[in-house]
Amino acid sequence: MPKQKMNQDWFKLDNSAKIFPSVSNSSETNTFRVTVSLTEEVNPENLQKAVDIILGRYPMFKVRLKKGLFWAYFDYNSKPFIVQKMGHQICSEIIPIENNGYLFKVLYHHKDISIEMFHSLADGGGVMQLLKSLVYEYLLLEGKSVTPDNIIATKKDKPEFEEYEDANAKYYNKKNRKHIPEEKAYRIKGTYLDADQTGLISGILKTKQMLDLARKNDMTITEYLTTVMMFTIYKTQIQYREHIKANEKPIKIFVPVNLRKHFPSKTLRNFTNFIKTNMRMDKPDISFDEIKALVKEQFAKGIQKDELIRKMSENVAFEKNIFLRMTPYFLKNYVLKIGFNMLGIKLNTMSLTNIGRTVFPDSMKPYIYDVGATIYAGKFNTIGCAIVSYEDQFKITFSRSIIETQIEREFFRHLTSEGLDIEIESNYVEEYS
């Protein structure tokens, strides 16, 4: 893509993004939300002005999805972007025709500013950068004295060509692309909520407490919380019922890895890989330490650069297959949809994504109260978990498409039993179902 035209030109979907248009629907939306909570009520007029300003800095988000002969692609969107008042639906399907063709939404509610994004456009790292820039420009319009301090990209900064790159295609290795077959994962079942409802339960604690507990267990925070999640699923769903055939499938926690921490890339597009736990809970006395040892081993292997490249290369090689490339898009779309519904979505028990520490300039901190993240919960993967920290506030948010809340209750009970002080927030959707 020519550098001089990158603000008004088409570009390909990145390798990770290509699957999402084919497999997304009202029950599997593949959307996620990031939120910044301010100390003052949001002014919708200035928020709209801030969005108009910042889309000039981030033209890669000012696009619409088009269908080509062989692949879908992004095309410049000349229609106005309209901010919206937040409704009760969370991470719902983004229907372009209802959103002026855009693949993301900017929402506001009282003191909250949120971005909901379709995963084809970007991952959590890219969207958090967009949100930080948006909040910065909004605060300027509100008359606040804030400075970017080399942390925030502003309207004065020109878009960089590297922000558009498909980093998966850049770093893949065609000699390291071995496919490793997987078996289907254990599924968390329950009573479905209404289609327009999502249950939310958040636990808010001190970052230092969480870090100290992980270090006490000789683990990273993500490793430790993944262990707690697996132990929780075992205790609430499987223990003493491991003889049931459906419970014999392994628990697989899908944990995205931000590849920007492992490869030198400035891309704002999708550049995540994953680590996946894999443990069959086939006995009634599995201990926390037993799960912990397995998680540490599997994370250590999954984070090795060769393994990250293998997974990346496997996906890129699939895209570069000459027969697939020459297959018309409408046939690709059909095949991808069938394949994903038959197998792909069934390889994970749930997703646990740690967006990490969010940093703002000191001048912005007096106006920011909280940061949060939410991932969609679907018909098959009925529970998701998103983690983000800001200053000394650590927030764990569960989203679910079922009424039952045993997993969330047991998860936070385990953390409090370890001495953590946790404040619980909920939308209590189960009480109205």
Is the confidence at residue 2, as pLDDT, over 70? Answer: no
pLDDT score at 166:
87
Query: Can you give the pTM of this predicted structure?
Result: 0.94
Give the residue, 20 or 362, on which the prediction is more confident: 362
* pLDDT 10s digits, 95-152: 999 999 999 999 999 999 999 999 999 999 999 999 999 999 999 999 999 999 999 9
Largest Cα separation within the chain, whole Å, is 63
| Amino acid at position 148, single letter | P
Please report the domains of the chain, with CATH numbers, ordered by start residue: 3-171 (3.30.559.10), 199-432 (3.30.559.30)
How many angstroms separate the Cα of 214 from the Cα of each of 128, 208, 285, 391, 412? 25, 10, 23, 18, 15
Is the confidence at residue 321, as pLDDT, over 70? Answer: no
CA distance 348 to 298: 15
Is the confidence at residue 343, as pLDDT, over 90? Answer: no
* pLDDT 10s digits, 201-235: 999 999 999 999 999 999 999 999 999 999 999 99
User: With the CA atoms of 261, 230, 396 and 60 taken in that order, what torsion angle do they form, in degrees rounded to the nearest 10?
Assistant: 40
* pLDDT 10s digits, 69-99: 777 788 999 999 999 999 999 999 999 999 9
* Structure confidence at residue 3 as a pLDDT band (50, 70, 90): very low
